[in-house]
Amino acid sequence: MGQEIKIRVENVCKIFGPNPAKAREHVRAGMGKAELLQATNHVLGLHDINLDIPAGQIFVIMGLSGSGKSTLIRHFNRLIEPTDGRILIDGQDILQLGTLDLRELRRRRISMVFQKFGLLPHRTVLDNVAYGRIVGGEPAAVARRKAAEFIGVVGLTGFESHLPSQLSGGMQQRVGLARALATDAEILLMDEAFSALDPLIRTEMQVQLKAIQSQLGKAVVFITHDLDEALYLGDTIAILKDGQLRQVGSGNQILMTPADDYVSRFVRDVNRARVLSCGGLARLQCEGWSTQPGQSPRLMAPDGSAAPHDEIDADAPLEAAFATLAATATPVVVTSNGRAIGLLDRGAVLGALHRPAAQ
């Protein structure tokens, strides 16, 4: 069974300027972003974007400045209206929603975390986090109890009575995240949410977001210009350039099979040993092989005999397998539930770590 699609983007185009419909004709005829600006003084924000964003994933949209990534995410709650196309949430075209229904969508089904924290400076941490629920009509006492739960989720228990000015930047961003989570929205939009943070705090927030997502399983759309951040967080990654979608796939897919020269150059300097997973490179399906947790040896061949191979966690990065590969030619890759999915050989690893020469 396929994954449930939470957000579907169909042929979305966005052109900024006084006559976007006319400019759209030029784009359809093949005019690019730079040419459109020079010829018509219109800006091409997005061009024929098609995406399926599943529930339960961290879906990263990335690209350099001007690529259209922030423009795209603002379409999902209609902070920006498209020039053309459709956006469906749970199969419903949100472009057809009236004012009241759109307000309900933003209030109850979608939350957003911005790069700038946007906290209310005169309200405490508890009241900032509870604010969305109170505005939605929930009794203040109930809203604050729920808010306190999510303050704990982001690791700020004990700071409920503090004002934002009394917190570090990283702590303020945690408050913003807790506020978004506290609405119980199914979709969490995060626009460059960690880019203003110091590197160490940023790393902590990335780890915490993955931990929270493993508990809550929301549809998270995360915008970034940082490839390392995208590869660490993203279950799926979409790369934009000049308003056009260049590739969509897992981190392994984008690194191993870039769609074009632009993506290839984009990912060339990534530390592949830390990003590529052993499971992503596993070869030769191990049909009938099994493991027995807690027993030694764990891995069993189809005939019930002990398989003469070391094991590697499928989710582990390649660098975690180097010592095993040095001692064993073909270690077996095993999932967290004990299923053998393939073998990892040195040739595959060396091929994956090879970076083509710059063009």
pLDDT band at residue 60 under the 50/70/90 scheme = very high
Q: Residue 35 falls within a domain, yes or no?
A: no
pLDDT digits (tens, 9 = 90+) for 87-104: 999 999 999 999 999 999
Helix runs in 190-312, H state only:
199-216, 227-233, 251-256, 261-267, 272-275, 278-281
Give the number of other Cβ atoms within 10 Å of residue 125's Cβ. Answer: 27
Which is more confidently placed, 11 or 117? 11
Interval 228-238 mean pLDDT: 92
Q: How confident is the model at residue 356 (pLDDT cuts 50, 70, 90)?
A: low
Residue with the larger pLDDT of the pair 316 and 160: 160
| Structural domain includes residue 4 | no
Decide if 18 is inside a domain. no
Report the chain's mean pLDDT, rounded to a whole number: 87
d(CA 305, CA 69): 52
Long-range CB pairs of 354-357, under 8 A, 24+ apart, other chains included = 355/268, 355/269, 355/272, 356/264, 356/268
DSSP-derived secondary structure letter, 195? T
Residues 163 and 61 in one domain: yes
Least confident of 27-31, 73-77, 289-293: 289-293
Mark whether 209 and 318 lie in a shared domain: no
- State yes or no: pLDDT of 153 exceeds 90: no
Mean pLDDT of 315-335: 82
Same domain, 333 and 264: no
Residue 40: inside a domain: no
* Range of lowest pLDDT (44-48, 240-244, 351-355): 351-355
Helix (H) or strand (E) holding 40: helix 33-40
Same domain, yes or no: 261 and 284? no
Instruction: Give residue 343's region: left, alpha or beta (phi > 0; psi -120 to 50).
Output: beta
Which of 242, 270, 298 delimits the end of a domain? 270
Report the relative pairing of strands 187-191 and 219-224 from DSSP bridges. parallel
Q: Does 203 share its domain with 349?
A: no
Residue 137 confidence (pLDDT): 85
Same domain, 171 and 193: yes
Residue 112 shares a structural domain with residue 174: yes
Q: What is the mean predicted confidence (pLDDT) over 310-328?
A: 84
126 lies in the same domain as 250: yes
Say whether 105 sits in a helix, a strand or coil. helix
Length of the chain: 359
Query: What is the DSSP-derived secondary structure letter of residue 319?
Result: G
What total of structural domains would you count in the chain? 2
8 lies in a domain? Answer: no
Considering only CA atoms, which of 13, 12, 11 is closest in space to residue 33? 13
Q: Please report whether residue 19 resides in a domain.
A: no
Domain that holds residue 265: 51-270
pTM of the entire structure?
Answer: 0.84
CATH number at residue 303: 3.90.1280
Digit-coded pLDDT (tens) for 172-230: 988 988 998 888 899 999 998 888 788 888 888 898 889 889 888 999 999 999 888 99
37 inside domain: no
What's the CATH number where 88 sits?
3.40.50.300
Q: Are residues 77 and 191 in the same domain?
A: yes
- pLDDT, mean of residues 98-127: 89
Beta bridge partners of 283: 343
Of the spans 112-116, 160-164, 200-204, 323-327, which averages the highest pLDDT? 160-164
Decide if 109 is inside a domain: yes
What pLDDT score was predicted for residue 292? 57
Pick the more confident residue, 98 or 339: 98
Residue type, 314: A
Q: Are residues 124 and 191 in the same domain?
A: yes
- Cα–Cα distance list, 45 to 75, 195, 223, 249 (Å): 11, 22, 15, 22
Residue 204 Cα distances to 3, 187, 229, 314, angstroms: 29, 22, 12, 24
Contact present, 341 and 251 (Cβ < 8 Å): no
Are both 114 and 261 inside the same structural domain? yes
Same domain membership, residue 287 and residue 263:
no
